[in-house]
């Protein structure tokens, strides 16, 4: 039994460590667990021959006329004419489980089998000859505290070696040897060897995993320790940029590539800045951890590390330049090509989340990039209404606002719910429409359709799916509109304009709404994977005002198409519309 127990420490400890390592994502612990499993396999190879000493319950030995016979008790009981008990169950059949009557029947079955085998009436290899086997010319090769290593003759000049445990009362392999009279002791040396192997291989695996997943001078992916050496890098010249109502200071040498996007030519690093309002600490942690799940399956993903990790919380205090205390951290995701993505977050006590990300090239200095990010967070200044509201199921209808952050004076931004199946976990999409006071319209309470009207223009935006292209999406939308409208549509056929290069399409047509003239354009723009943004842009020809030309110009910029100028009274023939 001690031989079997020797295999358990490495197996049980390895499985436990592997489960813990997967749960907390600590790679050195994974290698330590693998070391335990390898040690368990080695122990299995060592003790496998000794397991023969543990078979005394299922094997019966007896000496008859100078020959030692070995009887497989369960196998003999399976032969119909030799069955001596009907006991069954999960436990293997053993001699001790038999009643005195069953033991007597078993003895008679064994003697009858031996008599038949000695008569030469059975062919070699029969079931009975495998259950009851003579150990011919038995020789003792070695004796230990726990048993005898013996050899017996098979098939002429061939010999087979087996272990016989010292557990058979008054039995010895040969008649000239003293029989076993005491219970065999535990095989403590085997258990000690097993424990030594487990400890050695687990420590070796942990060291190897640490070497593989630790950056020189840095922290290991997933289990970093605090790095007090990181300090903010103060630029020689500072320029402040306002992003989402927050003023971020940064090096004046940076080039602005877009709203909240900056490029550092000195380190070949792209920076992305944003701010969010009404953010909980849990949501801030989720934002910090997003890059791990986003890039873990990427073929070029290498590892990740936190700049600070405590035993209880991943966010740690950060004192800003104005004395405010934020909860912050920096996550770095490394790639095999030498590049890295740094995500730095700082959460104020009022729920404002500041996010500064840096995507560095393989030649950039990591310490410098993270020092820049830390400087931005420490010296950010919050405006009167900082942050962009997090879009939720409860508030998305109320977040429609003038897109002044993008330089528009007549265009507003609203949100529609992504159709089921477009994204794995759902979400919301931006929709650009004429700006109107109050909330936009969501026809028939459909969260995936939004519509606004202002200055003689009406725009309805939704998402549709098409198995072919944008032209097919526009044609289907036009047929649906014709089927639903109760007013007349100009019978002249207008050709659908399609750009295969960009997979966009549009179609124009005249129609009436309660006898009021209308001119509409259906526009579809690919969003990938068979999904298209579908916009219906309608000229309310009898409602145009002085701001109509300015709004039309901004709609042209938003959708990137040449929307025609329409007069209050429509011409007989439509103006040409080009993509």
Cα-Cα-Cα-Cα dihedral sign, residues 59, 60, 66, 67? negative
Report, as an integer, the average pLDDT of 37-59: 65
pLDDT greater than 90 at residue 434: yes
Q: What is the pLDDT of residues 468-520, one digit of tens each?
A: 899 999 988 888 888 877 656 665 567 888 988 888 999 988 887 777 788 88
Residue 189 pLDDT > 70, yes or no? no
Tokens for 514, please give them. Answer: 């309660």
**pLDDT value at residue 575:** 39
Q: With contact defined as beta carbons under 8 Å apart, do 37 and 19 qualify?
A: no
Section 2-13 average pLDDT: 65
CA distance 21 to 18: 5
Report pLDDT for 448.
82
Return d(Cα 465, Cα 480) in angstroms, integer.
14
Each residue's pLDDT tens digit, 309-340? 765 567 888 888 888 889 899 999 999 999 99
Decide if pLDDT at 536 tops 90: yes
The rounded Cα 290 to chain-centroid distance in angstroms is 11
Predicted TM-score (pTM) above 0.75? no
pLDDT at residue 169 in the model: 66
The mean per-residue pLDDT over the stretch 97-119 comes to 82
Cβ atoms of residues 3 and 54 within 8 Å:
yes
Q: What integer pLDDT is reported at residue 553 of this predicted model? A: 92
Tell me the residue ranges of DSSP E strands in 322-456: 325-335, 340-347, 353-360, 381-382, 388-389, 401-402, 411-417, 428-434, 449-454
Calpha distance 134→118 (Å, rounded): 10
Average per-residue pLDDT in the chain? 78
Model confidence at 158, in pLDDT bands (50, 70, 90)?
Answer: confident
Distance of CA 312 to the CA centre of its chain: 23
Most confident of 29-33, 296-300, 337-341: 337-341
pLDDT at 124: 66
Task: Specify the range with the lowest mean pLDDT, choosing from 21-30, 83-92, 184-193, 223-232.
Answer: 223-232
Looking at residue 543, what is its pLDDT?
84
Indicate if the pLDDT at residue 569 is higher than 70. Answer: no
**CA–CA separation, 119 vs 125, rounded Å?**
15
Higher pLDDT, 202 or 2: 202
Distance CA 344, CA 365 (A): 16
Per-residue model confidence as pLDDT tens digits over 383-423: 776 766 667 777 777 778 888 767 889 999 888 888 877 76
The secondary structure of 498-546 as a DSSP string is EETTTTEEEEEEEEEETTEEEEEEEEEEEEETTEEEEEEEEEETTS--T
Q: What is the pLDDT of residues 252-267, one digit of tens each?
A: 989 888 778 899 988 8
DSSP state of 563: P
How is residue 91 annotated by DSSP?
A: S
Angle at which helices 8-24 and 188-212 cross, to 10°: 20
Which pLDDT belongs to residue 321? 86
Average pLDDT over residues 32-39: 79
Q: Under a CB-based contact definition with an 8 Å cutoff, are residues 43 and 193 in contact?
A: yes
> Which pLDDT value is given to residue 341?
93
- Which of 271, 329, 327 has the alpha carbon at shortest distance from 305? 329
């Amino acid at each position: 039994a001690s031989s079997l127990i020797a295999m358990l420490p490495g197996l049980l400890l390895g499985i436990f460590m592997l489960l813990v390592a997967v749960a907390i994502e600590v790679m050195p612990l994974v290698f330590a667990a693998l070391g335990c499993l390898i040690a368990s396999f080695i122990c299995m190879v060592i003790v496998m021959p000794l397991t023969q000493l543990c078979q005394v319950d299922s094997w019966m030995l007896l000496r008859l006329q100078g020959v030692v016979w070995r009887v497989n008790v369960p196998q003999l009981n399976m032969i119909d004419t030799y069955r001596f008990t009907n006991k069954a169950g999960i436990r293997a059949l053993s001699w001790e489980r038999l009643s005195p009557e069953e033991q007597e029947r078993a003895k008679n079955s064994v003697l009858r089998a031996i008599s038949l085998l000695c008569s030469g009436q059975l062919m070699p290899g029969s079931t009975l000859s495998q259950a009851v086997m003579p150990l011919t010319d038995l020789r003792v090769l070695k004796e230990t505290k726990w048993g005898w290593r013996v050899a017996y003759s098979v098939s002429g000049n061939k010999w087979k070696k087996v272990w016989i445990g010292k557990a058979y009362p008054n039995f010895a392999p040969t008649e000239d040897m003293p029989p076993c009279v005491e219970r065999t002791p535990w095989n403590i040396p085997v258990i000690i060897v097993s424990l030594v192997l487990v400890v050695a291989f687990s420590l070796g695996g942990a060291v190897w995993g640490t070497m593989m997943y630790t950056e020189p001078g840095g922290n290991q992916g997933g289990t970093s320790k605090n790095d007090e050496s990181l300090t903010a890098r103060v630029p020689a010249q500072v320029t402040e940029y306002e992003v989402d109502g927050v003023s971020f200071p940064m090096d004046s040498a940076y080039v602005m590539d877009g709203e909240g996007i900056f490029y550092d030519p000195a380190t070949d690093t792209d920076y992305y800045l944003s701010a969010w309002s009404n953010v909980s600490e849990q949501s801030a942690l989720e934002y910090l951890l997003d890059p791990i799940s986003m890039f873990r399956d990427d073929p070029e993903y290498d590892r990740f590390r936190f700049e600070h990790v405590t035993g209880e919380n991943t966010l740690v205090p950060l004192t800003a330049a104005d004395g405010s205390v934020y909860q912050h951290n920096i996550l770095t995701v490394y790639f095999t090509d030498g590049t890295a993505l740094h995500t730095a977050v700082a959460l104020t006590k009022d729920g404002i989340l500041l996010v500064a990300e840096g995507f560095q090239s393989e030649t950039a200095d990591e310490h410098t990039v993270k020092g820049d990010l830390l400087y931005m967070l420490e010296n950010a200044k919050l405006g009167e209404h900082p942050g962009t509201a997090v879009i939720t199921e409860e508030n998305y209808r109320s977040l429609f606002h003038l897109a002044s952050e993008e330089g528009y004076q007549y265009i507003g931004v609203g949100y529609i719910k992504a159709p089921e199946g477009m994204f794995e976990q759902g979400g919301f999409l931006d929709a650009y429409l004429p700006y109107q006071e109050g909330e936009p319209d969501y026809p028939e309470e459909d969260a995936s359709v939004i519509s606004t009207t202002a200055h003689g223009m009406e725009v309805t935006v939704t998402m549709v799916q098409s198995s072919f292209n944008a032209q097919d999406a526009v044609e289907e939308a036009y047929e649906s509109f014709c089927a639903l409208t109760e007013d007349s549509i100009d019978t002249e056929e207008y050709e659908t304009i399609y750009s295969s290069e960009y997979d966009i399409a549009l179609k124009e047509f005249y129609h009436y709404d309660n006898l009021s003239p209308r001119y509409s354009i259906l526009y579809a723009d690919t969003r990938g994977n068979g999904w298209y943004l579908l916009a219906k842009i309608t000229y309310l020809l009898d409602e145009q005002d002085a701001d109509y030309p300015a709004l039309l110009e901004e709609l042209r910029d938003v959708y990137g198409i040449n929307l025609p100028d329409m007069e209050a009274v429509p011409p007989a023939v439509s103006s040409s519309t080009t993509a």
